[in-house]
Amino acid sequence: MTEKGAIFSQNVKQIAFDSEHLKKMRARYDFFMCVAEECANHYANIELEKSRAFNIRNKAFKYYDKLLVDFETNFMNNGGTVRWARDAEEAKQMVYNILSDEKAKNVVKTKSILAEEVGLMPYLEMKKVNVTETDTGDFICYQYNERPSDPSHSAAHKTKTEIAETYSEKFGVNNDLNAKQLMTVTRKVLNDKYLNANAAITGADFIVADTGDIVISEDEGNVLKSVAKAKIHIVLVGIDKLIPSIDDISVLLPLSSLYEVTKIKSKSYFTIINGPAKDEFVNQKIYVVLVDNNRSKMLEKEQQRRIMTCIECGACHSVCPVFNTIGGHVYENAFPGPVGVIQKIADGYEESAHLATLCASCHQCEQYCPMNIKISDLILRNRVEIAKEDGSLLGERRVFNFIMKRVENRKDMDKTKEFINRLELKQLIKKTWGVHHEMPVFPEKSFSELWRSMNESEE
């Protein structure tokens, strides 16, 4: 096991047996299942729509090089600027350079999983940039100096009482405020930031090749508020968000909000930006920073690249029994859960080996995925690749090969007594299964021995 894997294992042990944590995660799971029950009823044929969505995203892989150039050309023709970042360091540096060149002193930021992935907020704070997170969930997490635990519901791991106590310390309000009052305090704090913002940093749901458009969805209206007065708008987006045509959003956007908790079962706001606003009030500049950060490596993998069709609805980790045991903070990924486990292999086998075991193969994630991604199969594919390449697993492979040869032949199995079989099994799984479970016990007689004795007695 690598050093990172050992640290990960220790963190899992600490959180997996925290009863308070498990109680919160269980409540979160139950809430999602209540929402998900009626979602399929919004479509006459949900499976057909899922197939259409997957095909839209998947066909872009064949023409990515051309489509990316088409987007750049069309967006620049609309008056915007495009920058290309190969990795996280380049992306952070580009965003900082833009803010520095434009002399932006007050910056607001909206929810962006990619920004979490590259570590943008800590980097800008290190550079002494005055930046404020405007998504309510993320805003709460940053009051604790934590990253979001869940891309869909960032502060789901915090209780109302915990948030009220923190707000009391930070903003001088009463420590017994209810949820509505806490939201009022949050809006009041953020409204001042919107009014004084020189620059806004947002993510994007999709970028469109044939029109050069940027598609953004939101629930709170903080994106619209952030970009309304800001003279500089920076869109940080991965190359995997590219779609061929603006017509495709009629399929993709409804599915992306399939599991919304609102009564209308949809995101509240959809914004399509095709260039900077230019009027008598605002003379805006828009920069799109296109980030690779190992996405091209993932696209090279014929099987695993299917995960790049993900539209980040959050359904997979909401139903994942592993995620609902250990939570999102244990993962190193900005997008934790099954999707993050698959994507991590692009960072290398040493980085992803310890995550590849985080799957119970229950296939619940596939049942709820609106893109019909065979997530469990892709995690299994990761395991196969890691097992072939990871030298530290050589000893385990030899043990498994020995065991498999034994169990292939019933006579060989029967040659040894039950205590020898039990000893072999104990040596194999005592450090994993045997830590928190009772070890299985072999019966004194094998099935074949019992069968023979039964037949002999009948004769």
pLDDT, average across residues 266-274: 79
Quickly tell me which residue has 């609902």 as its tokens. Answer: 324
Query: What's the pLDDT score for residue 266?
Result: 52
pLDDT, average across residues 100-116: 93
Decide if 211 is inside a domain.
yes
pLDDT at 129 over 90: yes
Higher pLDDT, 147 or 68: 68
The DSSP output letter for 438 is P
Burial of 307 from C-beta contacts in 10 A (0-12 / 13-18 / 19+)? buried
The token pair that represents 445 in the structure block: 């007689």
**Residue 416: band (very low, low, confident or very high) from pLDDT cuts 50, 70, 90:** low
Number of domains in the chain: 3
pLDDT, average across residues 144-156: 84
Alpha-helical (H) ranges within 127-232 are 136-143, 160-171, 179-196, 222-229
Query: What's the pLDDT score for residue 396?
Result: 62
Residues with Cβ within 8 Å of 92's Cβ and at least 6 positions away in sequence, in order, are 118, 119, 120, 123, 124
Residues 119, 238, single domain; the answer is: yes
Residue 316 near residue 368 (C-beta atoms within 8 A): yes
- Give, for 402, the enclosing helix (H) or strand (E): helix 394-407
Residue 317's CB is within 10 A of a number of other CB atoms, namely: 24
Decide if 21 is inside a domain.
no
- Mean pLDDT for the chain overall: 85
Domain of 182 in residue numbering reads as 39-293
Residues 331, 219, single domain; the answer is: no
The token pair that represents 382 in the structure block: 């990761």
pLDDT at 27 over 70: yes
pLDDT at 392 over 90: no
Residues 334, 213, single domain; the answer is: no
Whole-angstrom distance, CA of residue 424 vs CA of residue 398: 13
Residue 119 near residue 90 (C-beta atoms within 8 A): no
What are the tens digits of pLDDT across the range 230-258?
999 999 999 999 999 999 999 998 888 88
Decide if 24 is inside a domain.
no
CATH number for the domain spanning 364: value is 1.10.1060.10
Whole-angstrom distance, CA of residue 95 vs CA of residue 74: 22
First to last CA, the chain: 55
21-25, 56-60, 336-340, 447-451: the lowest-pLDDT one: 447-451
219-223, 376-380, 437-441: the lowest-pLDDT one: 437-441
Out of 16-30, 62-76, 145-159, the most confident range is 62-76
CATH number for the domain spanning 151: value is 3.40.50.10420
Query: What's the pLDDT score for residue 444?
Result: 72
pLDDT at 428 over 80: no
**Residue 82: band (very low, low, confident or very high) from pLDDT cuts 50, 70, 90:** very high
Last residue of a domain, one of 336, 360, 389: 389
Residue 87 near residue 281 (C-beta atoms within 8 A): no
Decide if 23 is inside a domain.
no
Whole-angstrom distance, CA of residue 324 vs CA of residue 432: 20
* SS3 category, 175: coil
Share of the chain above pLDDT 70, in %: 86
Whole-angstrom distance, CA of residue 212 vs CA of residue 73: 8
Residues 97, 174, single domain; the answer is: yes
**Residue 349: band (very low, low, confident or very high) from pLDDT cuts 50, 70, 90:** confident
Decide if 214 is inside a domain.
yes
Residues 384, 397, single domain; the answer is: no
Quote the radius of gyration of the chain (alpha carbons, Å): 26
113-127, 206-220, 355-369: the lowest-pLDDT one: 355-369
Residues 313, 192, single domain; the answer is: no
Residues 201, 272, single domain; the answer is: yes
pLDDT at 264 over 60: no
Decide if 17 is inside a domain.
no
pLDDT at 128 over 90: yes
* SS3 category, 119: coil
* SS3 category, 413: helix
The alpha carbon torsion through 292, 295, 300, 303 (nearest 10 deg) reads: -170
* SS3 category, 291: strand
Whether this model's pTM surpasses 0.75: yes
- Give, for 202, the enclosing helix (H) or strand (E): strand 199-202
> 3-state DSSP helix/strand/coil percent for the chain, to nearest 5?
55, 10, 35
Residues 106, 240, single domain; the answer is: yes
Last residue of a domain, one of 293, 319, 335: 293
pLDDT at 295 over 80: yes
The token pair that represents 332 in the structure block: 């190193």
Residues 145, 216, single domain; the answer is: yes
Residues 79, 169, single domain; the answer is: yes
Residues 319, 419, single domain; the answer is: no
Residue 150 near residue 314 (C-beta atoms within 8 A): yes
Query: What's the pLDDT score for residue 114?
Result: 94
Decide if 440 is inside a domain.
yes
Query: What's the pLDDT score for residue 263?
Result: 46
pLDDT at 71 over 90: yes
Last residue of a domain, one of 235, 266, 293: 293
Residues with Cβ within 8 Å of 89's Cβ and at least 6 positions away in sequence, in order, are none
Share of the chain above pLDDT 90, in %: 42
Residues 85, 202, single domain; the answer is: yes
Whole-angstrom distance, CA of residue 382 vs CA of residue 343: 9
pLDDT, average across residues 215-228: 89
Decide if 134 is inside a domain.
yes
